[in-house]
């Protein structure tokens, strides 16, 4: 592994993206044993160019700028292509950015093992590079406050990664939105603890050994326009049966889920979006067009209470694993739920420095005046809509 100073310091600048109307920024990272490593930041193309960190960039003049920046991170065997999600956040008065992590999508290079890491904390470098480009880099004495609030949003494995990252960097985050986060193994805690020792041994012997293929392609069938879904995307970057999995990677996932089980202590508001039910079967069923075919949503719903003290759980009937790829009426409900939650829980801009501490010294005063229930879990949909 190269020393940290081997990381390139220059980027190629914003370039046209594969998505019409968007642009991308390559973020060089520290090379690893497979060679060059990069992450890729994506945003709406701005008239006249300009810096991603410049809040004066052109935007819809009819939408008031709320002083919020959103960074979205995809899930396993995935990349950013959900332009409707960008439309939604920009309609809320936020600036939207998406990150293709190392060895995924735009960031995947020839000869690399797709999605492979041995520790989810490896992504700290990717996230930090993206935040720096967005104007949310690490604060210094010369820059004690950011001018805009940061909202993180992530799907599935990205939701696990950003939950762990948020727990370690809470002073930099205003809120966290999780779309079907992989907070718990499908066999739940007992299955995870039974499987972990054998996987850890295999990871030490052959970390990149292929694991049995468990993705039968049903999820792709429900979302891809080439099959029964409505979405167009690159099947090389999001394969029909997903990328091959490996012992060291799955060990990293199980360790991350174990950390969640012990409690993350996140104090900032968290919104968790899940389908009302899962359909985990070895054969195709039409119900897979209206449910989560990847994860056990009941196990994740229960595990979500271990994230922190301000968790809102929304169970959406008819939702797919990626809630924002569900049928139009379903994702419209999801977007309405997010918009309502944002209005209640996310302040428009960071407070002046003198308002940093509440009188008791426990919680930032920036959360004052938010919806009631500041120090409790708001869990909606546990009864009557369970899977």
Q: For 280-332, write each residue's pLDDT tens digit.
A: 999 999 999 999 999 999 999 999 999 999 999 999 999 999 999 999 999 99
Could you give the residue ranges of the DSSP H alpha helices within 277-318? 297-303
Contact 278, 292 (CB under 8 A): yes
Round to whole Å and give the CA distance between 276 and 4: 45
Provide the percentage of residues in the chain whose pLDDT is more than 70: 81
* Listed residue (98, 69, 66) closest to 85, CA to CA: 98
178-237 confidence digits (pLDDT tens): 999 999 987 777 777 888 788 888 888 999 999 988 899 999 999 999 999 999 999 999
Tell me which H or E stretch contains 28. strand 22-32
Say what the pLDDT of residue 201 is: 82
Give the Å distances, CA to CA, from 353 to 67, 262, 341, 356, 366: 16, 33, 25, 5, 10
The string of DSSP codes covering 140-170 is BTTB-S-SSEEEEEEETHHHHHHHHHHHH-G
Say what the pLDDT of residue 322 is: 98
What's the full length of the chain, in residues? 387
Say what the pLDDT of residue 353 is: 56
* Listed residue (171, 152, 150) closest to 160, CA to CA: 152
Say what the pLDDT of residue 99 is: 98
**What average pLDDT score do residues 77-88 get?**
98
Strand partners, 176: 152, 270
DSSP state of 30: E
**What average pLDDT score do residues 118-147 get?**
88
Spacing of C-alpha 75 from chain mean position: 7
Token match 């992590």: residue? 101
Contact 154, 178 (CB under 8 A): yes
pTM of the model: 0.85
DSSP state of 49: -
Tell me which H or E stretch contains 25. strand 22-32
* CB atoms near residue 312 (< 10 Å): 23
Give 141's contacts (C-beta < 8 A, 6+ positions apart).
Answer: none
3-state SS, residue 68:
strand
* CB atoms near residue 351 (< 10 Å): 15
* CB atoms near residue 114 (< 10 Å): 17
Round to whole Å and give the CA distance between 255 and 277: 25
**What average pLDDT score do residues 149-154 get?**
97
Say what the pLDDT of residue 203 is: 82
**pLDDT top residue among 360 and 21:** 21
**What average pLDDT score do residues 238-255 get?**
95
3-state SS, residue 129:
helix
* Listed residue (356, 366, 153) closest to 273, CA to CA: 153
* Listed residue (38, 158, 41) closest to 110, CA to CA: 38
- In 200-303, DSSP assigns E strands to 270-275
Token match 């960097």: residue? 169
Burial class (CB in 10 A: 0-12, 13-18, 19+), 383: exposed
**What average pLDDT score do residues 109-125 get?**
97
């Amino acid at each position: 592994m190269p020393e940290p100073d081997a990381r390139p310091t220059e980027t190629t600048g914003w370039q046209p993206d594969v998505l019409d109307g968007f642009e991308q920024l390559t973020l060089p990272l520290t090379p690893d044993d497979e060679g060059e490593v990069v992450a890729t930041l994506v945003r709406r193309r701005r008239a006249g160019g300009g810096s991603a960190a410049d809040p004066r960039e052109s935007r819809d003049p009819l939408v008031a700028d709320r002083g919020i920046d959103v960074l979205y991170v995809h899930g396993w065997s995935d990349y950013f292509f959900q332009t409707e999600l960008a439309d939604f956040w920009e309609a809320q008065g936020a600036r939207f950015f998406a990150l293709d992590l190392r060895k995924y999508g735009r960031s995947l290079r020839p000869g690399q093992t797709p999605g492979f890491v041995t520790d989810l904390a490896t992504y700290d470098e990717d996230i930090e590079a993206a935040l720096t480009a967005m104007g949310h880099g690490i604060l210094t004495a010369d820059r004690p406050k950011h001018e805009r609030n940061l909202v993180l949003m992530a799907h599935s494995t990205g939701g696990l990664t950003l939950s762990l990252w948020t727990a370690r960097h809470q002073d930099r985050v205003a809120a966290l939105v999780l779309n079907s986060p992989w907070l718990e193994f499908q066999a739940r805690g007992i299955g995870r603890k039974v499987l972990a020792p054998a996987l850890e041994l295999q990871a030490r012997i052959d970390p990149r050994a292929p694991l049995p293929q468990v993705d039968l392609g049903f999820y792709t069938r429900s979302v891809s326009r080439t099959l029964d879904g409505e979405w167009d995307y690159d099947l090389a970057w999001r394969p029909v049966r997903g990328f091959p999995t490996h012992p060291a990677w799955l060990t990293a996932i199980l360790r991350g889920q174990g950390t969640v089980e012990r409690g993350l202590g996140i104090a900032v508001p968290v919104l968790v979006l899940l389908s009302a039910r899962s359909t985990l079967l070895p054969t195709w069923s039409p119900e897979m067009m209206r449910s989560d075919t990847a994860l056990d949503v009941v196990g994740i719903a229960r595990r979500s209470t271990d994230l922190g003290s301000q968790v809102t759980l929304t169970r959406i009937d008819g939702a797919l694993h990626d809630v924002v790829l569900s049928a139009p009426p379903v994702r419209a409900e999801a977007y309405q739920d997010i918009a309502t939650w944002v209005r209640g829980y996310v302040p428009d801009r960071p407070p002046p420095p003198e308002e940093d501490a509440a009188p008791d010294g426990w919680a930032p005063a920036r959360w004052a005046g938010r919806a009631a229930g500041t120090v409790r879990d708001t869990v909606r949909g546990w009864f009557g809509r369970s899977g």
